[in-house]
């Protein structure tokens, strides 16, 4: 897994190098398990081009799987400067890369248009600027981290360590992340306190058409989804869609949508006082009893038990 860090002019360099060192150390931590190294590269804009300025594995071809836009302790990047990265970020996103922004780093990501209609987080001091300039974005600044699977935003000025642990989880697994956090004597990201379910779909499988399907499902999972609708959306035959989706993601379309709905239900159970019936409707299930059975089977806790254990 290659993690590309954007080094724009006012980027907070301790975050850049702190995250770089953390991920390099994580690679050393898992070497006995024969896990692959994490590769870290740094990128900057120069004369209208995005160029590489640092690489832990400089002799290999670059395939950035996850992009990090660090924070800045100076005023947020200007729209013009942020737009210099937009085409590059959109191209990586279309090819399945996960995009991450720490605190004010979100302003670079906002200019891509990829956050329209999404829920994100950022430091409370940026709330007014985001709401005024990007009205189609939903800001939830009660959360430290919003992990939307393909896009991750963090609110803390110094939350690069939280992101580092989340990257370790996505690259390896949750158990390795928690063990690494304990070794460092730091708490894992709050969302990962759940030992029962953490849906982390893969977007770097190489099938660009299926990546588009995943992006579409991310924004429409609460609707009634049929194979006919999906097949028409991407101009594929149903059997071809089913085969390629299963090959790329390791699960059926139904299983994938089910996981998206459960993930959203987890968030709502943790952060709201909505009844489970209301939550079921919000995520696309009209029969809350049926959804509760599915939730319990996947999570290992009923909705009431989950809320009691994890509600903040």
pLDDT by residue (tens digit) across 71-122? 999 988 999 999 999 999 999 999 999 999 999 999 999 999 999 999 999 9
CA neighbor of 69 nearest in space, from 140, 191, 152, 185? 152
CA neighbor of 304 nearest in space, from 264, 281, 274, 261? 274
Residue ranges covered by each domain of the chain: 2-193, 202-312
Q: Convert the pLDDT of each residue in 108-154 to its tens digit.
A: 999 999 999 999 999 888 988 999 999 999 998 778 889 988 999 99
Q: How much is the pLDDT for 190?
A: 52
What predicted TM-score, i.e. pTM, was given to this entire model? 0.74
d(CA 11, CA 45): 12
Q: Chain-wide mean pLDDT for the chain? A: 90
- 3-state SS, residue 208: helix
Residue 234 neighbours by CB distance under 10 Å: 14
Q: How much is the pLDDT for 106?
A: 97
When mean pLDDT is compared over 62-71, 179-188, 225-234, the highest value belongs to: 62-71
Please compute the mean of the pLDDT values over residues 22-37 and round it to a whole number.
90
Q: How much is the pLDDT for 13?
A: 96
Instruction: Note the CATH architecture for domain 202-312.
Output: Orthogonal Bundle (1.10)
Among 154-158, 167-171, 179-183, 194-198, name the one with the lowest average pLDDT.
Answer: 194-198
What is each CA distance from 141 to 77, 130, 208, 255, 288, in whole angstroms? 20, 11, 32, 30, 29
In CATH, the number for domain 2-193 is 3.40.50.880
Q: Convert the pLDDT of each residue in 204-224 to its tens digit.
A: 899 999 999 999 999 888 888
């Amino acid at each position: 897994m290659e993690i590309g860090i954007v080094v724009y002019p006012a980027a907070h360099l301790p975050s850049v190098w702190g995250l770089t060192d953390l991920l390099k150390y994580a690679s050393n931590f898992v070497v006995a398990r024969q896990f692959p190294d994490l590769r870290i590269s740094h990128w900057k804009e120069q004369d209208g081009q995005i160029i590489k300025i640092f690489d832990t594995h400089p002799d290999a071809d670059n395939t950035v799987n996850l992009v990090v836009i660090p924070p800045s302790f100076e005023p947020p990047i200007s729209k013009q400067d942020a737009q210099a990265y937009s085409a590059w970020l959109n191209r990586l996103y279309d090819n399945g890369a996960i995009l991450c922004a720490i605190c004010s780093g979100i302003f670079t990501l906002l200019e891509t248009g990829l956050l329209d209609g999404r829920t994100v987080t950022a430091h409370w001091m940026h709330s007014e600027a985001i709401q005024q300039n990007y009205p189609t974005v939903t800001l939830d600044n009660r959360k430290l981290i919003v992990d939307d699977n393909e896009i991750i935003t963090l609110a803390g000025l110094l939350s690069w360590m939280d992101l580092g642990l989340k990257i370790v989880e996505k690259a390896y697994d949750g158990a390795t992340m928690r063990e690494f956090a304990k070794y460092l004597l730091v708490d894992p990201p709050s969302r990962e306190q759940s030992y029962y379910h953490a849906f982390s779909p893969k977007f770097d499988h190489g099938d660009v058409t299926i990546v588009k399907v995943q992006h579409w499902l991310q924004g429409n999972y609460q609707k009634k989804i049929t194979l006919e609708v999906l097949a028409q959306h991407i101009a594929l035959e149903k059997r071809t869609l089913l085969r390629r989706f299963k090959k790329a993601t390791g699960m059926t379309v139904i299983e994938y949508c089910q996981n998206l709905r459960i993930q959203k239900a987890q968030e709502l159970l943790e952060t709201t006082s909505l009844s489970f019936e209301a939550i079921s409707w919000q995520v696309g299930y009209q029969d809350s009893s049926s959804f509760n059975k599915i939730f319990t089977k996947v999570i290992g806790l009923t909705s009431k038990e989950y809320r009691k254990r994890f509600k903040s």
